[in-house]
Structure 1
């Protein structure tokens, strides 16, 4: 009898889901049996910036999925150009680190009919965590929404499990698509500063393009960008926020996540929401809410942009953006090692060819805090006509940095908050 009852409940839920009636039930809190991890972490996300997922991030995903031996991970490959290969990679990764089971949620643009399949909905409902692969975030939107931009039964099921405590993890495109806010779709920093943001492909190959309807909706309040410092995307995220903050799905806030690094969010959507950084590099928070754009300037000109940079072990309260530096870092004020801050003639160069070197924007920004005599510095874009000047100031209220010293500047790990940024034609 208990098995028959369980089968009947699953059948009823599937019918409600596939007919679109369950969304109202979810909103009214029915069917909300929580997974064990919910009582510790609430709704949780692990947002990786791309490239490799290191061991600490992998283990975090498993922990938030219920723990080794219990975690059941659904791998979502809709963004991938090689979905089977992506699935096998994540299957092997999670099984190697103790997942109880890894399943393939094989919904894609080529198999979009599966987003209404009751068997696929049931498979989703059996998972305790989800991993969205990298690729092209637009493919995820196309695969999981219906033609009228209504969420498919499969997406409703993932949202239901998220509400119950199943972690939503992603990397690269699988991170960029998670917000309810405008979703970045492509573009480079110089083109973004030069031409602005477009919600349809622009006239230039590297134009900043975004989806004005947002992403999947698992995180509210922030635009998400990835491969961030390594591809010099500071300019494109800043411009996207500035251009779209007053749109229906716009916001003044954005996280840029570096490669091999993750932003781990627990208790999402509540006053207790908190994010911590795990991994090799860092996560940028850009805030344009108090910025000023000079509409009279010939080219994009903005002042008073606030920026914070968090590295491994740092955390931030999402309710008020109080940043707590990792206890293994020391205050940098009064302990500056260098006389002067660094400058750059290619400020958005990520130095991807040599990961031993810091990306140019990070190099300049962190050097301002490690300089005895300078409180500001600048860099210019490599591209001309126009060449943009990016100036960073540590003179803002509450600006400070903490450091974990290495054997050289390249090995020093510096986090900072409330750096002020301005951009204008050089």
Structure 2
């Protein structure tokens, strides 16, 4: 159930002038004409790595499902089925949908749920997605949890092929959400909540260098996406998971720019994005857990693709893509965010952080924690951002990719409106309004 950091490449998840793109949101980028927006319940989306002892997140899910009367339906169809698990008969080694469903059911009961049951839909039981008996089981639940794995298996098991329409079971879950139930998930189980252009895999460097492409790819470094998206529970922004732990900030920005989205929620491990009234005019989010959630706002961003420039009979320079004007907010425990106003509200008790250090920001030559760098450090992007917030000696700081040819430089800048917040006087925790620029050369 746990993916080692260094093995993260397994998919869970003509003219003379250079082409300059002003990013605008496609009118269909967050739309799904086959489904109405539902906003009666809530979402609890975890960036992966949810620990068994995270009482804050498990407790929130259970409380929203009815507290001591909570009945949690566990869906683990993103795992391999038992028929493909060589350890299916060994409870200590198994890692298939049934065994993972039993695992999460036990954890929810340990945290106080009255009942938790596996919903028997997976690659071995695809027909169950249209079973009236399983729909009745779903309807008896007050909350739901989608486990991690490969989100493509959720598409295969719970949606109807190319039509991308709901199976009976997914339709029942969607109706329960609309009626006020909580729907939660971790890693692929959070990713599948996305609307159009759900990420399917990729690394930050290769994504920045080569751009994104629709589909799933054997080359796990290639940035891919599913144009029709996931289940569409959350449409106010793209979703990415394991963000800092796997250095996915670069791929998140590139995918948003390529597909016309103007916001990305980058979820960190063992930490949840709580979304109330998803899809409605009063949608609000809050962060729960020990790490945080990055919000990349691309409303004013501009992309410049030098690889598409061509002179007379010439070609552009591969990898010279750049993006300017991105606003970066990093929310931590208790912080709230208003998607409509694009406003971060730090938690009660946090106050503006006044930097006292005159020390310069340390060099960072692996800003996206490359899988090719054995000495790399996770949360590298955030580390530089917080270091800049901690010093009064600099207004800007640069960090580069480990890879070169081309090498990408990320420039962080304290522009008007930037504020760091902290619950103590030692270090900044929450960041609001930091400007980010990415440029290849």
TM-score over 0.5 (shorter chain):
yes
Instruction: Give secondary structure in 1 for the equivalent of 2:73.
Output: strand
- The residue number in structure 2 matching 1:77 is 76
Q: State how 1:23-422 maps to structure 2 within 5 Å.
A: 42-53=40-51, 54-67=54-67, 69-81=68-80, 82-147=96-161, 148-201=163-216, 204-245=219-260, 251-296=261-306, 298=317, 299-332=320-353, 334-349=354-369, 359-395=379-415, 397-405=416-424, 412=427, 414-422=429-437
More helix by share: 1
How much has 1:338 moved relative to structure 2?
4.4
Distance in 2 (CA, whole Å) between partners of 1:230 and 1:107 is 30
Q: Given the superposition, is the C-alpha separation of residues 338 and 84 from structure 1 closer, same or farther in structure 2, using an over 3 Å criterion?
A: farther
Shift of 1:280: 1.2
Using the TM superposition, give the Cα deviation of residue 203 of structure 1 relative to its aligned residue in structure 2, in angstroms: 8.2
Decide whether aligned partners of structure 1 residues 413 and 50 sit closer, same or farther in structure 2, where only a CA change above 3 A counts: farther
Q: Tell me the CA shift for residue 414 of structure 1.
A: 1.3
Check 1:168–1:242 CA distance in 2 against 1; reply closer, same or farther (3 A cut): same
TM-score where L is the length of structure 2: 0.81
Pick closer, same or farther for the CA change 1:78–1:201 going to 2, 3 Å. Answer: closer
**Which piece of structure 1 moves more, 286-295 or 232-241?**
286-295
Measured in 2, the distance between the counterparts of 1:216 and 1:203 equals: 23
Count of residues in correspondence between the two structures: 376
Q: Report how far residue 342 of structure 1 moved.
A: 3.1
1:241 aligns to what SS in structure 2? Answer: helix
Encode CA deviations 1:371-394: one digit per residue, 9 max, x unaligned.
Answer: 112011011100121111111111
Deviations 1:25-44 (A, max 9, x none): x9699xxxxxxxx9xxx420
- Number of the residue aligned with 1:3: none
Distance 1:27 1:303 in 2: 34
- From the superposition, tell whether residues 350 and 329 of structure 1 become closer, same or farther in structure 2 (CA, over 3 Å): farther
2:324 is paired with a residue whose SS is: strand
* Aligned residue in 1 for 2:314: none
Aligned to 2:93: none
Q: Bigger shift: 158-167 or 291-300? A: 291-300
User: In the TM superposition, what is the alpha-carbon distance from 1:202 to its structure 2 partner?
Assistant: 5.5
Partners of 1:328 and 1:404 within 8 A in 2: yes
Name whichever of 181-190 and 262-271 sits farther off. Answer: 262-271
Q: Matches of 1:370 and 1:259 in 2, distance apart?
A: 24
CA separation of 1:405/1:358 partners in 2, compared to 1, >3 Å: closer, same or farther? farther
Matched residue of 1:231: which SS? coil
CA 202–108 in structure 1, closer or farther in 2 if over 3 Å, else same: closer
Contact 1:232–1:359, Cα closer than 8 Å, also in 2:
yes
By how many angstroms is 1:366 displaced? Answer: 1.1
Secondary structure of 1:345's counterpart equals: coil
CA distance in 2 between partners of 1:342 and 1:307 (Å): 20
Stretches of structure 2 that go unaligned for 5 or more consecutive residues are: 1-32, 81-95, 308-316
RMSD after superposition: 2.3
Q: Distance in 1 between matches of 2:324 and 2:79?
A: 38
1:301 partner SS = strand
TM-score, with length taken from structure 1: 0.84
C-alpha distance 161-308 of structure 1, shift in aligned 2 (>3 A) = same
Bigger relative contact order, structure 1 or 2, given CA contacts below 8 A and separation 6+? 2
Deviation, 1:190, is: 0.3
Q: Which residue of 1 aligns with 2:29?
A: none
Q: CA deviation at 1:360?
A: 0.9
Question: Against the structure 1 CA distance between its residues 201 and 71, is the aligned structure 2 distance closer, same or farther, given a 3 Å change threshold?
Answer: closer
- Mean CA deviation greater in 267-276 or 92-101: 267-276
Question: Secondary structure at the residue paired with 2:160?
Answer: coil
